[in-house]
Amino acid sequence: MRDQALAAVVRHFVNQGATTVTATPDGIDLQGTCLSQGVDLRPGHVKLEKGWYSGYLRVATNEKGVVRSYFSAGDTKRGRFIEKQARAILEKQFSGKVID
């Protein structure tokens, strides 16, 4: 169930234009999914667009049924909106509860 919940959150943000990364350029597994929109971190071309956000989502390694999420945004209002969307998916579609 938690893998489905994680996939639903990732799909939601990808459908809104977010990009995802699950491994480093060297192929090292990040053990989760990095999401971002409006973030360009190419060497020599670092740029943050208006409304940018970045996040990391993963299933907890030793807590059954737990999805962990961490988000950052260039503006507090945007960050709260992104977090609210993720929580809504987890709470409404998967009966999730905020634990911390």
Hey, what domains does the chain have and what are their CATH numbers? 2-94 (3.30.310)
pLDDT digits (tens, 9 = 90+) for 17-53: 999 999 998 999 999 999 999 999 888 889 999 999 9
Residue-by-residue DSSP string for 6-42? HHHHHHHHHHTT-EEEEE-TT--EEEEEEEEEEEE--
Q: Choose between 98 and 25: higher pLDDT.
A: 25
Maximum alpha-carbon separation in the chain: 43
Q: Are 51 and 72 in contact (CB under 8 A)?
A: no
Give the pLDDT score at 99: 79
Closest alpha carbon to 78 in 18, 26, 28, 27: 18
pLDDT digits (tens, 9 = 90+) for 55-71: 999 988 777 778 889 99
What's the whole-model pTM score? Answer: 0.85
